[in-house]
Amino acid sequence: MSIVTVQLGQCGNQIGQELFNVISNDSHSLRGQCPKTESEAYSICSQERFFSEGQNGASARAVLVDMEPKVISHTISTAAKSGRWKYGDQSSFCQKQGSGNNWANGFCVHGPRHEEDIMDLVRREVEKCDRLGGFFNMMSMAGGTGSGMGTYITQCLRDTYPHSFILNQVTWPYGTGEVIVQNYNSVLTLSHLYQSSDAILVHENDTVHKICAQLMNIKQISFKDVNKVIAHQLGSVLQPAYTEGVSEYNRNPLGDLMKSMVCHPEYKLLGLRNIPQMSETSLAYSVFTWPGLLKHLRQMLIANAKMEEGIDWQVRPPAGGLPPAEKGTHNKQLRFNTSLANLLILRGKDVQSADTGGFMDPALYTSWLPPGVASSTWRTPMSFNRYEKSATLVSNSQFLLKPLDGIVGKAWNMFASRAYVHQYTQFGISEEDFLDSFTALEQIIASYTHL
């Protein structure tokens, strides 16, 4: 089954290009320790999922959308330089003038205006697929095109393909500001995406920046470095793997992901943790064991750590036997992160020996899903992107609660003074619309708080 990727805005296009790079390199790399049939099955599955074979080589199953041309032309030319894959000649849509960081401009003006042309491009990609596995929309939350127009396009996809899975990858901006109205744009994006998307996979620029600085030891971090890390994390989720008890590579990754992770429409925010992450030079000298990796990952989940350094080992899951009402406050006191569902994806040597029992502990989860259902594992003996062993945790839990609360708080403060609101009403988003969005997000925050 194939996934059609829609890259929206500058951020979406820049990360998307890195993602296809990672996937292409991964499926073509030689792996000595795996039998050839295994390698081939992996490559074939990955190629079919992300690329279509044309006369001139592999063409990414992607639609590139932006309101101004500079980023798209740069993205397409960089991809072509790799020699291994490229974007389709007719797969991009752009206009002359950007959205000006204005969500209302992206959503109310550019979206409807260009809906037909963009959906046309999507339809052409979909027709190239033997079987459509779903849509992967990549965008940022802070700007105007990715956030505003991206939300509109997601809605269109939902209307046009009501039975397909839609996964949105959303990049959260730096807390100290990239765009002044980023909090407004974020609130409007998340509240609307909740209605049309199946799940929202989140990356925070602050977190990825720290990973680059502390784990990968990059001195002068550029957006390219940040995007590479995000692409690595996404690739580790989307590349082929075996779901439990199945002997063929999963045909329906998005469907399986939704089934495991999103059991309730009120809880759609997914976070990613991937270990190990380190610079190439350090990698050569490091050896990992599955028990070690899994122990770290489990503690990262429980203590809400964003990366494998600075984990608070003091935080422990509560002892069982507490009634649900008390459990909430108890957990809060312990700074314990309650999960709704977790998905482990393990890639690399000796993966069958890895014991994921630690994640089946009922104390980690809310009471209304049995751990057998709430926790799942995918595995593959194929190593991923230079890492001999790599473990990824996709988690639907409280760990986005604090950043989300922060964003809503700041946006609300700004809204109280009505600053910048005239820029939005000019394009069709009224104060009522703002209030609706705030209400929706407070609802989401409340739901996650009471997990």
- The least CB distance from residue 408 to another protein, in Å, is 8
Is residue 416 close enough to count as binding another protein by CB under 8 A?
Answer: yes
| Site for another protein, residues 191 to 230, rule: CB under 8 A | 209, 212-213, 218, 220-224, 226
Binding residue for another protein (CB under 8 A) from 41, 52, 115, 175?
175
Count of residues engaged in binding another protein, rule: CB under 8 A: 53
Is residue 347 within 8 A of residue 382, CB to CB? The reply is yes
Sheet holding 389-397, edge to edge: 92-94, 62-66, 2-8, 132-140, 166-172, 199-204, 269-275, 389-397, 339-348, 375-380
> What are residue 168's phi and psi, to 5 degrees?
-100, 125
Helix axes 9-28, 36-50, angle to 10 degrees: 160
- The least CB distance from residue 22 to another protein, in Å, is 19
Binding residue for another protein (CB under 8 A) from 41, 52, 68, 330?
68
Is residue 149 close enough to count as binding another protein by CB under 8 A?
Answer: no
Stretch that binds another protein, among 37-45, 169-177, 282-290, 386-394 (CB under 8 A): 169-177
Is residue 81 close enough to count as binding another protein by CB under 8 A?
Answer: no
Binding residue for another protein (CB under 8 A) from 163, 333, 422, 432?
422
Q: Which helix (H) or strand (E) holds 40?
A: helix 36-50
Q: What whole-number distance in Å separates Cα of residue 288 and Cα of residue 304?
A: 22
Binding residue for another protein (CB under 8 A) from 69, 255, 292, 362?
69
Hunting for tokens 């491009």 — which residue is that?
Answer: 121
Sign of the CA dihedral running 375, 378, 384, 387: positive
Binding residue for another protein (CB under 8 A) from 7, 39, 102, 274?
102
Is residue 101 close enough to count as binding another protein by CB under 8 A?
Answer: yes
Is residue 220 within 8 A of residue 176, CB to CB? The reply is no
- Do β-strands 389-397 and 269-275 pair in parallel, antiparallel, or remain unpaired? antiparallel
Is residue 22 within 8 A of residue 385, CB to CB? The reply is yes
Is residue 78 close enough to count as binding another protein by CB under 8 A?
Answer: no
Stretch that binds another protein, among 34-42, 65-73, 195-203, 379-387 (CB under 8 A): 65-73
Binding stretches for another protein (CB under 8 A): 10, 14, 68-71, 74, 95-102, 144, 174-181, 209, 212-213, 218, 220-224, 226, 408-410, 412-417, 419-420, 422-423, 438-439, 442-443, 446, 450
